[in-house]
Structure 1
Amino acid sequence: MATLGRLLMYEASRDWLPLVAGDIQSPMAITLVEFIDLKEPIMIVPILRAGLTLAEHASSVFLATKTYHLGKVDILSL
């Protein structure tokens, strides 16, 4: 499940995440690369039990994520 979560996050996000250009120092030279723009937060919303496992490992791909959980609340029981 860990590998599946990482692969699904990569495939689902490679076309829609905003990117910014920047320079990094590699062992050979300074090179221009693209980074994920962290101005827009990445939100993970797992659905059901399998989604919890996938979300846990998917957040290892994108370190700056927030995980949200949806739930049904019975107002009478509050």
Structure 2
Amino acid sequence: MGSPSGGMGEVAGYRVADYLLRHVRRLREAEPGPGALWDAFVAHATDPDDLRRLADAAEARGLHQSAAQLKEAVASAG
């Protein structure tokens, strides 16, 4: 744990406990994120592997329209 003053090379604050970090990650993984994020993925992602992973992630979050658009982009990218 760093000192409250947070001198050069020191952490100013506290470290999150591992169990709390895992708990928050599990909660956040279930959230779909804002629609603008998925719109940006559809508009700007070009790598076929990334597009596949994004399509799977969208599908897992119930974002079927984004998943379909990303799958179309995968097909177009080859």
TM, length-normalised to structure 1? 0.28
Pick 1 or 2: higher relative contact order, CA cutoff 8 A, min separation 6.
1
TM, length-normalised to structure 2? 0.28
Task: Specify the structure having the higher radius of gyration (Cα).
Answer: 2
User: Which protein is richer in helix relative to its size?
Assistant: 2
User: Which protein is richer in strand relative to its size?
Assistant: 1
